């Protein structure tokens, strides 16, 4: 009886706070690449692709939350989930996909952040120096006390929202509406990996589920609100990016795609405003830093468990080295890999772990409703197509090229 009274007296789970947490996790490096990859497809094709990609990610979030809620475990993890349903193959597929996501996204953050700092400081000729000056402090920050990181992250999130609002307000006055009608439907498949990355928050599902007391209906609402907010931000950002930056030319969407440059760099060059350039660089760096801290902590924990349980290594220095050296070395060797890294993260890692596997276990589960199984089968085929296209591109079997690369487009 006393337990019931204590539960009744405790505050109700906050849907708004959970939705805000989800939306905050969705604002990361993915949003920096969106105007570039989607801009080459055009506004309308990109909007439809974002609805499709976001819809698939929402479905798999609901599926995974149902699994987390059923177990109500503080130690819920995806490799164990997939091992229970798909055997050891599912477990190791999940582990491999998770490593691709975390290593790939840290590589993207190192390269993207370094490009922004180099452009801001005029140090484009010193990529190694800039990479180290940007990357090493981030690594140190990630290894500091968790409580400090949480306080810093709250400050960074407030800064992120403020700079985004300023960028949109300043950028709208420079938008050219004649650029909105361009469409290259053949390039839409190439936009899907980065769209999936921009709608990925699934690593925090167990946390959000626990905060909402394993209430699946409440989670569905929180996820929907958070993803709709992210969709609005992403759509507005894509609209501003496409409207400001020309398709072709020296500082263009095409040039940024070819050089793997974050969208804020060409936007600042087009507007030629010191305030806009400062806000754009600050927004991009804050977006990268907030996500880096979260993903860096996640990868450290993952590597620590892997080293301890698989190789019986319990050494902090070895954990830190195994966490950060591979992506940093990759970024130093390939400094122009920002968008490509995000494509691999989304098109392989995220699509496998949070697209193919959850829909596979759902549409093969006879206990689920027929409608959910049919919807999951469609989502499974969609995720499988994204994965197949990305793997074929990486293997050199196909090349998805934008139409503007071969045709003169005068806007």
Does the CA dihedral 171-173-179-181 come out positive or negative? positive
Average pLDDT over residues 208-231: 90
**In whole numbers, what is the pLDDT of the chain averaged over residues?**
87
pLDDT of res. 24: 74
Cα four-point dihedral sign 98, 100, 106, 109:
negative
- Return the CA Rg of the chain: 21
Please say if the pLDDT value at position 44 is more than 80: yes
**Model's pTM, two decimal places?**
0.87
Reported confidence tier of residue 40, pLDDT bands at 50, 70, 90: very high
Confidence at residue 14, expressed as pLDDT on a 0 to 100 scale:
74
Least confident of 157-166, 176-185, 212-221, 370-379: 157-166
Domain 18-404, architecture per CATH: Up-down Bundle (1.20)
Give the model's confidence band at 150: pLDDT under 50 very low, under 70 low, under 90 confident, else very high. low
Kindly report the length of the chain: 411
Helix, strand, coil percent content, the chain, rounded in steps of 5? 80, 0, 20
Token pair belonging to 317 = 């220095």
Signed CA dihedral, 313, 315, 321, 324: sign only = positive
Q: Is the pLDDT of residue 268 over 50?
A: yes
What are the extents of the domains in the chain? 18-404
Res. 152: pLDDT tops 80: no
Question: What pLDDT, on a 0 to 100 scale, did the predictor assign at position 146?
Answer: 65
b/e per residue, 109-138, with b = 16+ CB within 10 A? Answer: bbbbbbbbbbbbeeeeeebeebbbebbeeb
Vertex 399: Cα angle to 393 and 400 (nearest 5) = 105
Is the separation of the CB atoms in 72 and 216 below 8 Å?
A: no
- Segment 19-35 mean pLDDT: 79
What is the distance between the alpha carbons of residues 351 and 166, in angstroms, rounded to a whole number? 33
Which of 273-277, 306-310, 371-375 is predicted least confidently? 306-310
């Amino acid at each position: 009886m006393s337990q019931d009274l204590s539960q009744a007296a405790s505050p109700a789970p906050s849907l708004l706070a959970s939705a805000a947490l989800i939306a905050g996790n969705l604002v990361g490096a993915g949003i920096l690449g969106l105007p570039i990859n989607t801009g080459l497809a055009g506004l309308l094709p990109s909007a439809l692709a974002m609805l499709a990609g976001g819809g698939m990610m929402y479905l798999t979030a609901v599926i995974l939350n149902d699994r987390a809620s059923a177990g109500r475990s503080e130690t819920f993890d995806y490799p164990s989930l997939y091992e229970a349903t798909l055997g050891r193959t599912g477990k190791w597929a999940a582990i491999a996909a998770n490593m691709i996501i975390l290593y790939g996204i840290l590589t993207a953050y190192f390269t993207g952040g370094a490009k922004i700092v180099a452009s801001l400081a005029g140090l484009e000729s010193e990529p190694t120096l800039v990479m180290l000056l940007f990357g090493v402090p981030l690594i140190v920050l990630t290894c500091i006390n968790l409580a400090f990181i949480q306080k810093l992250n709250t400050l960074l999130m407030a800064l992120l929202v403020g700079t985004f609002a300023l960028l949109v307000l300043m950028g709208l006055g420079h938008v050219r509406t004649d650029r909105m009608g361009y469409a290259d439907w053949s390039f839409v498949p190439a936009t899907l990996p980065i769209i999936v990355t921009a709608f990925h928050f699934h690593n925090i599902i167990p946390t959000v589920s626990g905060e909402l007391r394993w209430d699946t209906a409440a989670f569905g609402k929180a996820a929907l609100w958070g993803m709709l907010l992210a969709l609005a931000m992403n759509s507005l950002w894509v609209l501003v990016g496409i409207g400001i930056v020309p398709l072709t030319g020296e500082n263009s969407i095409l040039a940024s795609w070819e050089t793997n440059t974050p969208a804020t760099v060409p936007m600042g060059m087009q507007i030629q405003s010191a305030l806009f350039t400062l806000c754009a660089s600050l927004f991009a760096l804050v977006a990268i830093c907030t996500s880096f801290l979260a993903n860096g902590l996640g990868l450290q924990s993952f590597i620590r468990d892997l080293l301890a349980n698989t190789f019986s290594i319990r050494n902090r220095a070895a954990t830190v080295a195994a966490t950060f050296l591979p992506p940093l070395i990759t970024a130093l060797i390939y400094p122009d890999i920002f968008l490509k890294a995000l494509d691999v993260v989304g098109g392989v890692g995220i699509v496998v772990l949070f697209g193919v596997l959850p829909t596979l276990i759902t549409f093969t589960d006879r206990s689920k409703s027929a409608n959910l199984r049919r919807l999951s089968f469609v989502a499974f085929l969609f995720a499988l197509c994204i994965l197949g296209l990305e793997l074929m591109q990486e293997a050199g079997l196909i090349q998805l090229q934008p139409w503007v690369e071969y045709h003169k487009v005068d806007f």
